[in-house]
């Protein structure tokens, strides 16, 4: 077997792992595939004769590529910026299938993808490599160009942002609200109108954000019947999260944040729902993954 074929074989052997790393870092299958393409190019141009751990070496390469892409994305303030390059190794699932991307997003956690998107590039790389893929800070430090102490601090800061300010010992009120929001989402997804009415206060007020085009003509909705009609069967991409420290909801199909909902609860009923869809307001929200322990 010649050197090129051996490299192709090695790349294929680690492809699924590398795609998983890149997807968690970038939150997009098309960008993850771009990162793999660039990693292949770097691999094909490198002297691998002294590489003892090919899997670890490839993880380092793809991590550095992802870090460059995240920095480039941030500097241009756009989401999908990298163009594709010729693919060296064809895979059966190349990111062109929406169903595959949806499955990948669900496997990572839609809320997690949204929260990771709020981290700085270095925080995201340090957190994903350490907390998700169990790399040591000795391995992570050179990837992000920091020393071990700084890499540890970045991962720790990212972990706090991912987990939010949820109390270690939840109050009874907090748990009741979480259960209520979960019930609201289940009823919304399944179109269970009666269950929706049971969790909504009869005089509930929904304040829509007209920046979200489908509700632009109804900025305020009054009453449980009208509010239930808006949500019934329409929360497939919704997940419960912490929004500014309180249990709320984000709607993020494939991890792309469309809007957030802040909910006010009184006497175990949802009395107010505020939609936030304007991009500038969304960026200001403190969103964190909600524990269901």
Domain boundaries, the chain: 3-163, 172-288
Burial (CB count within 10 angstroms: exposed 0-12, middle 13-18, buried 19+), residue 45: exposed
Alpha-carbon distance of 175 to 292, in angstroms, equals: 9
Q: Which fold has domain 3-163?
A: Butyryl-CoA Dehydrogenase, subunit A; domain 3 (1.20.140)
Cβ contacts of 28 within 8 Å, gap of 6 or more: 79, 80, 95, 101
The CA angle 216-217-220, to the nearest 5 degrees, is 90
Which is more confident, 284 or 99?
Answer: 284
Render pLDDT for 262-285 as a digit per residue (tens, 0 to 9). 999 999 999 999 999 998 899 888
Task: Return d(Cα 179, Cα 268) in angstroms, integer.
Answer: 10
Task: Output the pLDDT for position 290.
Answer: 76
What's this model's pTM, rounded to 2 decimal places?
Answer: 0.67
Q: Give the DSSP H/E element, type plus range, for residue 61.
A: helix 54-76
pLDDT tens per residue across span 40-89: 999 888 888 788 889 999 999 999 999 999 988 765 544 433 333 333 33
Class of domain 172-288: alpha beta
Q: Give percent of the chain with pLDDT exceeding 90.
A: 48
- 3-163 and 172-288, same CATH topology: no
DSSP 28: -
Which pLDDT does position 103 carry in this prediction?
62
Distance CA 109, CA 117 (A): 13
Alpha carbon distance 221, 197 (integer Å): 14
For residue 205, is it left (φ>0), alpha (ψ between -120 and 50) or beta?
A: beta
């Amino acid at each position: 077997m010649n050197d090129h074929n051996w490299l192709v074989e090695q790349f294929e052997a680690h492809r699924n792992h590398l795609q998983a790393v890149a997807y968690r870092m970038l939150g997009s299958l098309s960008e993850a595939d771009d990162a793999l393409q660039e990693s292949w190019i770097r691999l094909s141009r490198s002297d691998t004769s002294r590489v003892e751990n090919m899997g670890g070496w490839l993880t380092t390469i793809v991590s550095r590529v992802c870090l460059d892409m995240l920095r480039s994305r941030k500097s241009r303030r756009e989401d999908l910026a990298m163009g594709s390059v010729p693919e060296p190794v064809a895979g059966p699932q190349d990111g062109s299938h929406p169903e595959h991307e949806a499955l990948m997003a669900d496997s990572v956690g839609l809320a997690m993808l949204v929260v990771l998107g709020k981290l700085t590039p270095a925080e995201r790389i340090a957190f994903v490599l350490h907390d998700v893929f169990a790399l040591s800070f000795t391995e992570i430090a050179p990837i992000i160009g920091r020393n071990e102490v700084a890499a540890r601090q970045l991962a720790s800061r990212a972990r706090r942002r991912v987990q939010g300010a949820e109390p270690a010992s939840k109050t009874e009120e907090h748990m009741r609200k979480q259960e209520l929001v979960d019930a609201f989402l289940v009823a919304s997804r399944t179109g269970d109108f009666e269950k929706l009415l049971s969790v909504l206060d009869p005089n509930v007020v929904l304040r829509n954000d007209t920046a979200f085009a489908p509700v632009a003509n109804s900025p305020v909705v009054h009453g449980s019947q009208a509010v239930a009609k808006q949500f019934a069967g329409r929360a497939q991409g919704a997940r419960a999260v912490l929004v500014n420290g309180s249990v709320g909801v984000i709607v993020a199909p494939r991890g792309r944040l469309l809007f957030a909902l802040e909910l006010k609860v009184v006497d175990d009923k949802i009395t107010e729902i505020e939609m936030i869809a304007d991009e500038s307001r969304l960026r200001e929200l403190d969103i964190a993954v909600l524990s269901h322990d």
